[in-house]
Amino acid sequence: MNLLQQLCSVHAPSGYELPMKEFLLKHIRKTSGKWRTKPQIIEGEDLLDCIILKFGKPRTVIFAHMDSIGFTVRYFNQLLTIGSPDVQTGTTLTGEDSKGPIECSVEIDDDQHAFYKFGRQIDRGTTLTYKVDFRETVDHIESAYLDDRLGIYAALRVAENLQNGLIVFTCWEEQGGGSVSFLADYIYRKWKVRQALIADVTWATDGVALGKGVAISLRDRNIPRRSFVDRIVGIAAKNNIKYQLEVEGSGSSDGGELQRSSAPFDWCFIGPPSEQPHTPNERVHKGDVDEMIRLYDVLMKEL
Amino acid sequence: MNLLQQLCSVHAPSGYELPMKEFLLKHIRKTSGKWRTKPQIIEGEDLLDCIILKFGKPRTVIFAHMDSIGFTVRYFNQLLTIGSPDVQTGTTLTGEDSKGPIECSVEIDDDQHAFYKFGRQIDRGTTLTYKVDFRETVDHIESAYLDDRLGIYAALRVAENLQNGLIVFTCWEEQGGGSVSFLADYIYRKWKVRQALIADVTWATDGVALGKGVAISLRDRNIPRRSFVDRIVGIAAKNNIKYQLEVEGSGSSDGGELQRSSAPFDWCFIGPPSEQPHTPNERVHKGDVDEMIRLYDVLMKEL
Amino acid sequence: MNLLQQLCSVHAPSGYELPMKEFLLKHIRKTSGKWRTKPQIIEGEDLLDCIILKFGKPRTVIFAHMDSIGFTVRYFNQLLTIGSPDVQTGTTLTGEDSKGPIECSVEIDDDQHAFYKFGRQIDRGTTLTYKVDFRETVDHIESAYLDDRLGIYAALRVAENLQNGLIVFTCWEEQGGGSVSFLADYIYRKWKVRQALIADVTWATDGVALGKGVAISLRDRNIPRRSFVDRIVGIAAKNNIKYQLEVEGSGSSDGGELQRSSAPFDWCFIGPPSEQPHTPNERVHKGDVDEMIRLYDVLMKEL
């Protein structure tokens, strides 16, 4: 799981996905020679910081987002959130500005405003992310940013055996979106692909627990088309995947942006449940990740 | 009005519009031979569960949404809302899961959470809708789901005499949208049509009452282009349609999604006012529906 | 600054941008003969009430919005807001309906509902805007609707010397958007332009003050791509522009709609800070406007 640890450690909050893009391009160029199918790598200014990997003749696309939650330095010692971090006073943040590397701590006041404590002023607009403490036991992984470096990790594992399909690494998911709408348009116009799987991490709830299998989401704030989700559940059952059905009323993902895009996408969110989401201690069960990868393998063949 | 009653009875909450699509395709294939112009029926995976009817050389499109509000079964006996039902403890819901048909009742607790009461566990993700009790008097219709089965009904009545135009049946309107953005793109690219009428049901308010005519909405949360709305009001006045001008600050419709689409649509919401919206007892005046159909007839000719 | 005063005086709230479109087309047709490059003027029904000016071979586009905040007359003496006016009892509003010109005053009740006081009933749907009192001192300008008539003014000043680029006047910015999504699609498909500058007015805050230079926004509710914003700050520094870096957690602009459009736009908000935003007394520093124009001049050359 050394790759997952490396992915979690890349500083790339929404809007500053460039370091993750560079890490991924380097990794993919180095390893894809050994993959079953060598993908075409599509990137550049017309995709902003997103990456598309094209394998064979694609029918289905996997989306995984590169960005993480974090903080932007404002004026004085004020911090603004990027996405919705669940943070407590004393948490350590890291980053870098014109004066050098930063390791500071957060203070939350009674009005839930965030501030940094550091020996010097930090440049306006500097982004800060959780200091990553990656922990692994026999069954569990605990770290900041499993959301969604685990989605990227799973997609890269699926890539090893993929013959036909698209894998897309997206931006801005945590901060209201901004890349999936143009990516959806691009993908649909170019390859007529309109089936999408959202490889992301969800919440453990009273109905979805760690270790009980990969979660297939029947809905969150958005509701995917039932006939598509039913096909996915059918394929999971037929292939003896260990899965749980999630039903949520709030929360969203790249699926929501896809739903409102200018292309007629079907989509379904599939990923492991996580405890303590958006904290430095996101926690998932390794078995759920294995089932996730198995499910994506069969879905990319059978959908 | 037998057709309207049938339309109200179809179980098709947002995300599961398939039963309504199938009902409509069957009905249209059976009856359109007798229409003044036989339309081209466009449907299939690239439109998800939406349907487009094309008559002659279209200049204007009518949108009516197929989906209704409802509920999704979560874990235990929890219910999540689809759209914003206005429901009270004791209301009867119906649906079907792997174990058979369901007729259960709702309970609302002090925190406004909804639960079902039924003799057995219902499958996760099962959708439930109001049990329909369709009532008709000399002047009024009262039923669940007049929103927006009445819009579909009116569009089908307009279809009988339509020579040039598009009629589009959409999905997900009650749950934040998801079909109009790709439909707008499709329609504009294919036929250069950019004038839209939203055939939907609105609220009776202190300024808009049942029996006083079809409502032409000057705005809701979204504001259509004034020059387009002015043309519509002018055509209504010239043709002696009985109409009322609605002015709202909240609420939205397929018009809002059209406004933010990638195509330059003008749009206007035109429909009858309803009392007790989103309850099992939505109530409209038949005269307002008649005026609605008359107005659409002339608008499709004169716009 | 006579042009700016004229621009502020045009009645054109969101949805009724037509008067501003007509004013601008007349002005541009009259003056553009003396500009360094005579632009192609693109307008018409396929752009609704928007205007595109095309100069030479464009690489970058300036967006400035034509609409203002205001009010819509509802039933009885009720007013609905257009956008988010910051208004107090006694403020004077102007407009016109079928019975003639209107000059009335606003009343705000304890529930923050707005009403008009006027000698007669005003037609439903009539739009009202602040009565404009344009004031100028050596250093400052104070008026209603500097947001965003100042953006239009600055864009027109930049137009005088522009050789390559697009200037686009947009609609609905104050009321949730509705034109930028189709304009983005149009511009990107036609000219492959995907670099955008948002010429708009921002808030003075505890970190951004009047007279300290043009504000370059690093983020608001939306977060632009950091590599694009960094290039802009670099160009501003190299050219000795007096600028301030803004970092906000809320607020949005045409940049937000661009971010979620179907085209891969980079964007950055650049404009003067204003005191008392959305009141009849918006106040900016002339020096900040001068720096804004200088910065746009160099950005349109160097980006």
Instruction: Tell whether C252 is within 8 A of chain B (Cβ).
Output: no
Instruction: Tell whether A217 is within 8 A of chain B (Cβ).
Output: no
Is the distance from CB of C267 to CB of C261 less than 8 angstroms?
no
This model of the complex carries an ipTM of: 0.96
Q: What pLDDT does residue A1 have? A: 55
CB contact under 8 A, C80 and B226: no
Q: What pLDDT does residue A268 have? A: 98
Strand partners, B275: B283
Q: What is the CA radius of gyration of chain A?
A: 19
Report residue B17 CA to chain centroid gap. 12
CB nearest A219 (choices: B72, B182, B184) = B72
Using CB atoms within 10 A of its CB, is residue C275 exposed (0-12), middle (13-18) or buried (19+)? Answer: middle
Q: Which helix (H) or strand (E) holds A128?
A: strand A127-130
CB contact under 8 A, B218 and C125: yes
In the block, which residue shows the tokens 């179980």? B11
CB pairs under 8 A between B and C: 80
Q: Chain-wide mean pLDDT for chain C?
A: 97
Instruction: Tell whether A76 is within 8 A of chain C (Cβ).
Output: yes
Three-state secondary structure call for residue C80: strand
The three-state (H, E, C) secondary structure of chain B, written as one string: CHHHHHHHHCCCECCCCHHHHHHHHHHHHHHHHHCCCCCEEECCHHHCCCEEEEECCCCEEEEEECCECEEEECCCCEEEEECCCCCCCCCEEEEEECCEEEEEEEEECCCCCEEEECCCCCCCCCEEEECCCCEECCCEEEECCHHHHHHHHHHHHHHCCCCCEEEEEECCHHHCCCCHHHHHHHHHHHHCCCEEEEECCEECCCCCCCCCCEEEEEECCCCCCHHHHHHHHHHHHHCCCCEEEEECCCCCCHHHHHHCCCCCCEEEEEECEEECCCCCCEEEEHHHHHHHHHHHHHHHHHC
Structure tokens at B47: 């439109």
Q: What pLDDT does residue B168 have? A: 98
Q: Which helix (H) or strand (E) holds A142?
A: strand A140-143
Residues of B in contact with A258 (CB under 8 A): none
Is the distance from CB of B225 to CB of C15 less than 8 angstroms?
yes
The Cα A156–Cα A153 span in angstroms is 5
CB contact under 8 A, C125 and B224: no
∠ CA C61-A187-A3 to the nearest 5 degrees?
100
CB contact under 8 A, C264 and A47: yes
Is the distance from CB of B166 to CB of B62 less than 8 angstroms?
yes
Tell me the residue type at A270.
Answer: I
Using CB atoms within 10 A of its CB, is residue A41 exposed (0-12), middle (13-18) or buried (19+)? Answer: middle
**Chain B, nearest residue to A182 by Cα:** B262
Q: With CA atoms as reference, report the closest residue to B146 among B79, B206, B69, B226.
A: B69
Q: What pLDDT does residue C63 have? A: 98
Q: Per-residue pLDDT for C208 more than 70? A: yes
**Chain C, nearest residue to B217 by Cα:** C125
Is the distance from CB of C214 to CB of C291 less than 8 angstroms?
yes
The Cα C279–Cα C146 span in angstroms is 10
CB contact under 8 A, A262 and C262: yes
Instruction: Tell whether A49 is within 8 A of chain C (Cβ).
Output: yes
CB contact under 8 A, C48 and B222: no
The Cα B4–Cα C1 span in angstroms is 62
Residues of A in contact with B46 (CB under 8 A): 194, 264
Q: What is the CA radius of gyration of chain B?
A: 19
Structure tokens at B226: 């004034």
Neighbours of chain C (3+ CB pairs under 8 A): A, B
DSSP A178: S
pLDDT beneath 70, residues of chain B: 1
CB contact under 8 A, C223 and A72: yes
Structure tokens at B169: 């049946």
The model's pLDDT over B236-258, given as tens digits with 9 standing for 90+, comes to 999 999 999 999 999 999 999 99
The model's pLDDT over C222-238, given as tens digits with 9 standing for 90+, comes to 999 999 999 999 999 99
Taking the model in full, what pTM does it have? 0.97
Q: With CA atoms as reference, report the closest residue to A66 among A139, A147, A125, A124.
A: A147
The Cα B172–Cα B211 span in angstroms is 29
CB nearest C225 (choices: A48, A82, A262) = A48
What is the number of H-type helices and E-type strands within chain C? 7, 19
Structure tokens at B199: 């055939």
The model's pLDDT over A191-209, given as tens digits with 9 standing for 90+, comes to 999 999 999 999 999 999 9
CB pairs under 8 A between A and C: 80
CB nearest A72 (choices: C247, C259, C261) = C247
Q: What is the CA radius of gyration of chain C?
A: 19
Q: What pLDDT does residue C51 have? A: 98
DSSP A99: T
Q: Which helix (H) or strand (E) holds C269?
A: strand C266-271
Structure tokens at C62: 């300036």
The model's pLDDT over C4-47, given as tens digits with 9 standing for 90+, comes to 999 999 999 999 999 999 999 999 999 999 999 999 999 999 99
The model's pLDDT over B22-39, given as tens digits with 9 standing for 90+, comes to 999 999 999 999 999 999
Q: Which residues contact A235 (CB under 8 A, 6 or more apart)?
A: A295, A298, A299, A302, A303
Three-state secondary structure call for residue C7: helix
**Chain B, nearest residue to A227 by Cα:** B16
Instruction: Tell whether B176 is within 8 A of chain A (Cβ).
Output: yes
Distances (CA, A) of C51 to A224, B115, C256: 37, 53, 20
The Cα C134–Cα C5 span in angstroms is 6
Q: What pLDDT does residue C1 have? A: 55
Residues of C in contact with B60 (CB under 8 A): none
Instruction: Tell whether C76 is within 8 A of chain B (Cβ).
Output: yes
The model's pLDDT over C112-160, given as tens digits with 9 standing for 90+, comes to 999 999 999 999 999 999 999 999 999 999 999 999 999 999 999 999 9
Is the distance from CB of B284 to CB of B213 less than 8 angstroms?
no
CB nearest B181 (choices: A194, A227, A261) = A261
What is the number of H-type helices and E-type strands within chain A? 7, 19
What is the distance between the terminal CA atoms of chain B, rounded to a whole angstrom? 28
In the block, which residue shows the tokens 């047709």? C29
Instruction: Tell whether A16 is within 8 A of chain C (Cβ).
Output: yes
Tell me the residue type at B47.
Answer: L
pLDDT category, A60, cuts 50, 70, 90? very high
How far is the alpha carbon of B51 from chain A, nearest alpha carbon, in Å?
A: 13
The model's pLDDT over A71-128, given as tens digits with 9 standing for 90+, comes to 999 999 999 999 999 999 999 999 999 999 999 999 999 999 999 999 999 999 999 9
Is the distance from CB of C83 to CB of C144 less than 8 angstroms?
no
Instruction: Tell whether C119 is within 8 A of chain A (Cβ).
Output: no
∠ CA C176-C150-C65 to the nearest 5 degrees?
25
Interface test with B, best of A181, A216, A223 (most B CBs within 10 A): A223
| C-alpha dihedral (B114, B117, B123, B126), degrees to nearest 10 | -50
What is the β-pairing status of strands A266-271 and A195-199? parallel
> How many CB atoms sit inside 10 A of residue C234's CB?
11
Own/partner contacts of A112-115, CB < 8 Å, gap of 24 or more, are A113/A78, A114/A71, A114/A78, A114/A79, A114/A80, A114/A81, A114/A87, A115/A77, A115/A78, A115/A79
CB nearest B46 (choices: A221, A249, A264) = A264
How far is the alpha carbon of B47 from chain A, nearest alpha carbon, in Å?
A: 6
The Cα C112–Cα B257 span in angstroms is 28
The model's pLDDT over A139-162, given as tens digits with 9 standing for 90+, comes to 999 999 999 999 999 999 999 999
Strand partners, B82: B70
**Chain A, nearest residue to B181 by Cα:** A262
